[in-house]
Structure 1
C-alpha cells in the first residue's frame, strides 16, 4: 500500500511538472536546453511597427536532442496575426526569415522541431544575430519584433 502511494505521488508530481508543456518532448528540451528570450515591441521594427503591440518569446535549443522549441507569450494589442518567424539579423537590421513558427493545435504559439542547418549559426552567435517578428493584417511587413538574447 505504501509503495502504491509513493508511485501515485511520483506520477502526480511528474504530471504537475509537465503541465505547462504541450508535449513531453517540450518538457525534456526545456530542462536540458539553452534558452534565449526576447521582448517584442513595435518600436523595434525598422521603419516602425504597431505602437501598442507586445509579446514575449522564448527559444530553447537542446543540442543533445537535436531539438529547438519556441513559446510566444503575452501577445497583446495586435490585429490578426498572419505570420510569425525567426529572422537572421543584427539589432536594427532587417534579415531574411529562417524559421516559420506555427500555431499549436491547442491554439497558442508554441512547439518543437528538429534543428535545421541554419541552427549552426545560432551556436556561433548565441542567437544574438536573430530576432522574432510577428506579422499582422495591419502590419504585413512586421508589427512587432524582438532581438533574441540570453
Structure 2
C-alpha cells in the first residue's frame, strides 16, 4: 500500500472513531426544561385558574431534542390520586389547549416527535405546558407552563 493510501485509510479510521465517540454525546443532547406542576396553574376552558388539585404538586423534567426528533421526560407528583394521563399541550397560561405530545404517566421515557414541533417548543416554550390527569381531575390535576 502506498504512503498516500495509508494516510487516507488512517484519516478515514480517525473520522469513524471520532463519529463513534461523539454519537453518545449527541444522543444525550437537546434542550432541558423543568417546570413545577400545581393545581393552581390548571385553568378552565374560559381561563379561570385553580381548577386542579390544590393540595398536589409535582415536577416535570423534559429534554426536547429536534435533532433526534424526541421528547424525553420524567414526571414526579405528590399528594394527588393516581395519575392516568400526562401530556404536553399547546396554549398560553390563560387557557387550555390541545395535546401535542402524549407522555406515559406511569414511567419516564422518550417519544418521537416531529422536528418542527420540537423546534417550536424550544423557540416558544411559554406557549406549551405539561399537565397530568386523574379520575378526580380528568381535565387536569396539575399543570406547569414550560416557559416560566
TM-score by length of 1: 0.69
1:131 to 117, 120, 129: 129
Q: Distance in 2 between matches of 1:28 and 1:70?
A: 17
Q: Does 1:109 align with 2:107?
A: yes
Q: Given the superposition, is the C-alpha separation of residues 28 and 52 from structure 1 closer, same or farther in structure 2, using an over 3 Å criterion?
A: farther
After TM superposition, give the deviation of residue 63 of structure 1 in Å.
2.9
Secondary structure at 2:126's aligned position in 1? coil
1:45 to 42, 45, 52: 42
After TM superposition, give the deviation of residue 146 of structure 1 in Å.
0.5
Q: Distance in 2 between matches of 1:85 and 1:112?
A: 12
User: 1:55 maps to what in 2?
Assistant: 58
After TM superposition, give the deviation of residue 118 of structure 1 in Å.
3.1
User: 2:69 maps to what in 1?
Assistant: 66
Q: Distance in 2 between matches of 1:79 and 1:121?
A: 32
Q: Which has the larger radius of gyration?
A: 2
After TM superposition, give the deviation of residue 28 of structure 1 in Å.
6.0
Count of aligned residue pairs for this structure pair: 118
Gaps in structure 1 of 5+ consecutive residues: 1-24
Q: Given the superposition, is the C-alpha separation of residues 52 and 28 from structure 1 closer, same or farther in structure 2, using an over 3 Å criterion?
A: farther
Equivalences for residues 1-150 of structure 1 within 5 A:
29=27, 31-47=28-44, 48-73=51-76, 75-103=77-105, 108-116=106-114, 117-125=116-124, 127-149=125-147
Over 4 Å off, 4+ runs: none
